[in-house]
Amino acid sequence: EEPSAEELEDFRQEQTDQVRAAHILFPLPEPAQQDSVRRLARAVLDSIRSGADFGEMARRYSVDASAQRGGDLGFFSRRDMVDPFSDAAFALQDSGDVVERPVKTRFGYHVIQLLGRRTVPPMDSLRARTALMQIRQRAAYDDAIKALRDQVTIQVNPEVLGVDLNVQ
């Protein structure tokens, strides 16, 4: 569906506010292990609040590709990240601030530090339309995949695979 002129203008204005943030990603484990991963994320956050270097902690603990850059994700607009992450990053006020508690997204638990803010000129209408359409297509695709996953049950038949699952 084509975005309206009002939606395009809102999107263009929304993209002018950007933050630069760093994060430490702790992957989302199986449900039984979530408490231990959340505790580790909290312990790392407590260490940072007590003076540990955020970049060093990111290099040591993060499983994200940004870990080599000390967790630095560069500048991004609100819609560039998943909602819980963006909400937390944009809520931070001053450069150097870190979140109060780890932020849970579909990717895992994040410890986030604000590195800076900036305002950029609005993108032109054609580029905004293209970007907004890509966001909508990605969301529709994600929704379709989730709906399919919710409908499917996978069963492994060891005989078809030719595998003995009782091997130790």
Residue range 59-68, pLDDT digits in tens: 999 999 999 9
Strand pairing of 103-105 and 72-77?
unpaired
Looking at residue 84, its pLDDT comes to 96
The residue count for the chain: 168
Can you tell me the distance from the alpha carbon of 60 to that of 122, in angstroms, rounded to the nearest whole number?
37
pLDDT at 77 over 60: yes
Nearest to 100 by CA among 53, 46, 33: 46
For residues 62 and 23, the answer to whether their CB atoms sit within 8 Å is yes
pTM for this predicted structure: 0.74
Looking at residue 167, its pLDDT comes to 56
H/E stretch holding 54 reads helix 54-61
Looking at residue 11, its pLDDT comes to 87
pLDDT, average across residues 108-121: 95
- Quick: pLDDT tens for 10-57: 888 888 899 999 999 999 877 778 889 999 999 999 999 999 999 999
- Quick: pLDDT tens for 93-108: 999 999 999 999 989 9
Helix-helix angle 34-49:54-61, to 10 degrees: 160
